[in-house]
Amino acid sequence: MTWLVITVILNPDYLMGKLFFILLMSVNVDANELSRERQEELRNILKHDCGACHGVTRKGGLGVSLLPEALADKSNAWLVQTIQEGVKGTPMPPWKMLITEQETLWLVENILRRK
């Protein structure tokens, strides 16, 4: 069981005057809350969809490296926000229409554990 502490994220567009806050309330992500089927679907998304840009080995490519050491300076909340919302001006699309915040956090935790 993992707890995500309440975190406030600043949008990188802050310097251009577009400041907004996202408050991620204490989220409990327990693998038991996701069915084995859904966990497998998420692993498949990570391998094939994320891997198409970030590399099958996650060492990077069109997208940045998804290896734990490359993400060490990023908070889980920032990673969830980036995956959910995408990155404007880049090929990184928003995934919020396909995966929930809880599922995104589960993926982030798996990426950081190299699963």
If DSSP codes are grouped into helix, strand and coil, which group holds residue 73? coil
Q: How far is the first Cα of the chain from the last one, in angstroms, to the nearest whole number?
A: 16
The residue range of the domain holding 81 is: 35-115
Percent of the chain with pLDDT over 70: 71
pLDDT digits (tens, 9 = 90+) for 8-28: 344 444 333 322 333 333 344
Q: Which CATH number does the domain housing residue 64 bear?
A: 1.10.760.10
Percent of the chain with pLDDT over 90: 70
Count: domains in the chain? 1
Q: Give residue 32's pLDDT band: very low, low, confident or very high (50, 70, 90).
A: low
Q: Does residue 111 sit within a domain?
A: yes
Nearest-angstrom CA–CA distance, 48 and 28: 27
Q: Does residue 5 sit within a domain?
A: no
